[in-house]
Structure 1
Amino acid sequence: MTAPSTAPAPPSRGGRWIQQWDPENETFWKETGEKVAKRNLLFSVLSEHIGFSIWTMWSVLVLFMGPEYGLTPADKFLLTSMVTLVGAVVRVPYTFAVAIFGGRNWTIISAGLLLVPTVAAFAVIKPGTSFNTFLLVGLLAGIGGGNFASSMTNINAFFPLRKKGWALGLNAGGGNIGVPVIQLVALAIIGASGGPRVLLGIYIPFIVVAAILAALFMDNLENVKNDTGAAKDAVKDGHTWIMSFLYIGTFGSFIGYSFAFGQVLQNQFGRTPLEAAYVTFIGPLLGSLIRPVGGALADKYGGAKITLYNYVGMGVATAVLIAASMQKSLGLFTVAFVVLFVLSGLGNGSTFKMIPGIFHTKALAKGLEGEAAAAYGRRLSGASMGLIGAVGALGGVGINLAFRQSFLSYGSGTGAFVAFLAFYAACFVVTWAVYLRRSAAKGQATTASEAKPQLSYAEV
């Protein structure tokens, strides 16, 4: 174990690397680690928060784009789908950037990069601009989605296993809340008869401030090394792909609905941009705020259990949405959609808490103990988080494409909601079958050394 005196908190203004970091050592954690970890968490949240805002800004900008822009509803859904796609894909390299450059250093770089899509959008957002230009500039905004992956990988390394659910939930929730914040700012601007350039102009100085604060107050961890072996092991592990599938259902829903909610209200219920903006922020706001609660509940009761029951709730909410859509009941539709947002946020927290728990359980099954088991869990969970986050975000692409096809085929989003209900049912079955079922067949197929950890997956 590393003694507290050997790893003091480095002067943050110097930007130096922390050479030794052992959060599982309770003495180190209480005397040194907790303060440093929380400081890094705070400024990580700020940068990730703005990254989410820039990633999802086109969900707001399309509300400003009236008939004079010459875009159809299908064009707008395609635009937001492609923005979501880029945000999902860049999460993979962003995950490993932390190990290459350091958490503090990469936060500075990734925050600064947000200026590119923001300034580009400021330059082209006007009637007469071609759809292809909007699409190209929209693709640039996708880099904001990568900030989540690097931030989560970085914060995962700072906190002990017993605190990861809370820390990762708070980090992600603080980032997710960038979605409703930019929607609220847009609401104020639309209400004041302002244009989209006002919105973009507000965010440019905040991006600069976030990069400066990261440079002043964050740290790099020397023991977070770029480990291609960990990446290969994570790719080969079946749990990485199972959790990716489950994360499509939670985070994919959150980000997909965040992009689509306003457009659905406009196209299916004839809401004006201002009327749509009045309600679109509510779901993402509540879904973001409750994400740390999902992580905390997972810490206490087990992520698999919370995730399982959460999918039941998401299925019920979706069934109500289908009924409201068919009955053209705007009130019921809005309430059910907001409930679905809340449940997606809760599930985001519980599913991400499962990741480090699963790999720690696998470490115990290999006979590892103490710091060795914790290090193994950190290594594989950190490597898998970027991939899981990327695949999960692809769910947002699927949601927007499903809405696009549903409106083209049926003139409403009902068909898309039916598909989402079937997917949530599949997520429920997978969660139960892999992490909660305790059958004799599984016990017989598992080696004696793995049998006990296999049963303990219910507690991850």
Structure 2
Amino acid sequence: MTAPTTARGSTRGTGRWIEHWDPEDEEFWEREGRHVARRNLVLSVLSEHIGFSVWSMFSVLALFMGPEYGIDPAGKFFLVAVASLVGAALRVPYGFAVARFGGRNWTVVSAAMLLLPTVALLVVMEPGTSYTTFMVVAVLTGVGGANFASSMTNINGFYPLRLKGWALGMNAGGGNIGVAVVQLAGLLVIAVAGASHPRLLLAAYLPLIVVATVLGARYMDNLGPVRNDTGAAREAARDRHTWIMAFLYIGTFGSFIGYGFAFGLVLQNQFGRTPLQAASLTFIGPLLGSLVRPVGGRLADRLGGARVTLWNFAAMTVAAGLVVVASVRESLPLFIASFIVLFVLTGLGNGSTFKMIPGIFRAKALAAGLAEEAAAVHARRLSGASMALIGAVGGFGGVGINMALRQSFLSSGTATGAFAVFLGYYLVCAAVTRTVYLRRTAPAAVRAPGGEQTAAGAADEPETRPAYAEV
């Protein structure tokens, strides 16, 4: 396939490559950048959306797996935990694949790979299939979760800093909503055909995967400036902020995906809901959490990601406390209401934390004395690389959620103990956000990327101020 050599830049090899891309240049952005970025964003969302649906497929199929499958609640929690674990682990190579192969090229490959777990599930999804076989297929579904890292890394390069909160929120939110959509589709199948026809759900996704693959190949672009930048990956891995933000992202995205996988199982096993009753409720939280992720990004663009993240973790702590109370009292209405609020807050936090990442690296570059343009390039390099690592660690949070719930059910028959642990984690995340990114510091105390301190601005602004409040 050939590509135009004007607005989209030059071609390279057999793919479409843009060799010049400067979204911080407002004239370039308004003339051609905005339209190219938006097209790539829409198609990225489509591929990531289907990826999330495939990744969370076992959380829905578990509702179809009645006594005839011979799998107890702990076994079902372990299946979804394995899917979450593999998806999180694959996010690291997927994120770095964008620089190696190109965002468009890797989107096509990663979308096509979704056919593997979907076809495998279509074959094995019936009573009598061994637990080992289901475990192997759960491993395959992990490729759907890995799409997030490559998609976010790719879109991060297309947008200017002032719009990254919105763009990354839209990209991730559109992908995250795949969890709710597959749950709604599962509800439709159970309501119309009954719980004995899970293959109808799987068959519906096969043509969607093909469409996403073809559209990505036809209309997406690769960005030449991010090609083969392996140094950025090493530099991001050495930066402490990558790991601090990964810790915070466990609290937001780890909670979102972990709860998305586990909500229906908790309703069935603690509150005695039938598969249809559970399916009629499980989609609400992931749907709302996905829809508000762009809102979290937009709020962070306006108010500062660190501020929004701090208040969000405080609210998550309160919501988790209400979930614990509801679990102890066995109050289904309070449990559902509190859980849905918690889902919404995870979505807001997802948007605000990812907005913080490029802002942190830009602030450090400016503190080191780099000019605006150079700081923007520096931030784009390191934030794209760090997102792969942060997204992977956040995905591991989903594993922790499901393993904690599994252990809580094995120990006490309820989820109360697990939710008490989650509450404590949110408190720690709030404290870390406050201490690292919103503590009052003088400008002289801001550290440059290499670790040295800079006194820039100290003479003119002797008063203290939040170090990263605006990121």
Which bracket does the TM-score occupy, shorter chain normalised? Answer: over 0.9
> Alignment partner for residue 213 of structure 1, among 212, 215, 221?
215
- Partner Cα distance (2:446, 2:42) in 1: 47
Q: Is the 1:7–1:21 Cα contact (8 Å) retained in structure 2?
A: no
Amino acid across the alignment from 1:448? T
**Matched residue SS, 2:50:** helix
Residue number among 425, 430, 442 corresponding to 2:427 in the alignment: 425
CA contact (8 A) 2:8 2:18 kept: yes
Deviations, residues 372-428 of structure 1 (Å, cap 9, x unaligned): 111100010011000000001111000000000000001000000000000000000
Q: 1:345 is paired with a residue of what secondary structure?
A: helix
Query: Retained in 1: the 8 A contact 2:9–2:20?
Result: no
Instruction: State the 1:365 CA deviation.
Output: 1.2
**2:470 alignment partner in structure 1:** 459
CA offset at residue 193 of structure 1?
A: 2.3
Q: Which residue of 2 aligns with 1:321?
A: 323
* Deviates further, 363-372 or 285-294: 363-372
The superposition leaves residues 61-87 of structure 1 with CA deviations (integer Å, 9 ceiling, x where unpaired) of 011000000001000011110100000
| Contact residue 442 and residue 465 of structure 2 kept, 8 A | no
CA displacement 1:147-181 (0-9 Å, x = unmatched): 10000000000000101000000000000000000
CA distance in 2, matches of 1:444, 1:94: 33
- Structure-to-structure mapping, 1:406-417, within 5 angstroms: 406-417=408-419
How far apart, CA to CA, are the structure 2 residues paired with 1:348 and 1:397? 17
Paired position in structure 1 for 2:146: 146
Q: Secondary structure of 1:22's partner?
A: coil
Measure how far apart 1:451 and its partner are.
7.8
- Letter of the aligned partner of 1:8 in structure 2? A
- Aligned pair 1:394/2:396, yes or no? yes
Asked if the contact 1:63–1:273 (Cα under 8 Å) also holds between the matched residues in 2, the reply is yes
CA contact (8 A) 2:438 2:468 kept: yes
Whole-Å separation in 2 of the counterparts to 1:32 and 1:449: 39
1:93-120 Cα distance to aligned partner (Å, 9 max, x none):
0011111111111111000000000000
The Cα of 1:371 is off from its aligned counterpart by: 1.8
1:44 matched residue in structure 2: 44
Tell me if structure 2 keeps the 8 A contact 1:83–1:139: yes
Helix, strand or coil: the match of 1:457?
coil
1:8: which partner in 2? 7
| 1:313-332 superposed Cα distances (whole Å, 9 cap, x missing partner) | 10000000011111110011
Larger helix proportion of the pair: 1
Offset, 1:198: 0.5
Q: Deviations over 1:29-73 (max 9, x none)?
A: 000100000000000000000000000000000110000000010
Distance apart, 1:448 and its partner CA: 3.2
95-104 or 111-120: bigger deviation: 95-104
Query: Pairwise CA RMSD of aligned residues?
Result: 1.8
In the aligned structure 2, how far is the partner of 1:298 from the partner of 1:444?
21
d(CA) in 2 for partners of 1:149, 1:440: 35
The 1:226–1:450 alpha-carbon spacing in structure 2 relative to 1, beyond 3 Å, is: farther
Distance in 1 (alpha carbons) for counterparts of 2:116 and 2:387: 26
Contact 1:7 1:18 in 2 (8 A): no
What's the counterpart of residue 170 of structure 2?
Answer: 170
% identical aligned pairs: 64
Following the alignment from structure 1 to structure 2, what is the Cα–Cα distance between the partners of residues 433 and 444?
14
Structure 1's unaligned 5+ residue stretches are 1-5
TM-score, scaled to structure 1: 0.96
2:454 aligned partner: 448
Tell me which of 295, 298, 306 is aligned to 2:297. Answer: 295
- Quick one: which amino acid aligns to residue 126 of structure 2? K
Give the CA deviation at 1:449: 3.6
Read off the aligned partner of 1:416 and give its amino acid letter.
A
Tell me how far 1:16 sits from its aligned partner.
Answer: 2.1
Displacement of 1:456 after TM fit? 4.0
- Across the two proteins, how many residue pairs are aligned to each other? 454
Instruction: Read off the aligned partner of 2:52 and give its amino acid letter.
Output: F
Who is 2:344 aligned against?
Answer: 342
Summarize the Cα distance change of 1:36–1:329 in structure 2 as closer, same or farther, 3 Å threshold: same
The answer to whether the Cα contact below 8 Å between 1:23 and 1:29 also exists between their aligned partners in 2 is yes
Normalised by the length of structure 2, the TM-score is: 0.94
CA distance in 2, matches of 1:31, 1:58: 45
Pairwise CA distance, 1:226: 2.0
> What's 2:112 paired with?
112
The structural deviation recorded for 1:370 is 2.3
Letter matched to residue 180 of structure 2 = P
Q: SS at the partner of 1:292?
A: helix
Distance 1:347 1:442, change over 3 A: farther
Offset, 1:443: 3.5
Give the match for residue 286 of structure 1: 288
Matches within 5 A, 1:59-458: 59-194=59-194, 195-439=197-441, 443=445, 447-449=453-455, 455-458=466-469
In 1, Cα distance between equivalents of 2:225 and 2:63: 45
* Distance in 2, Cα, partners of 1:408 & 1:397: 16
2:7 maps to a residue whose letter is P
CA contact 1:157–1:378 (8 Å) conserved in 2: yes
SS at match of 2:468: helix
Letter in 1 for 2:403: L
| Distance in 2 between residues matched to 1:444 and 1:353, nearest whole Å | 20
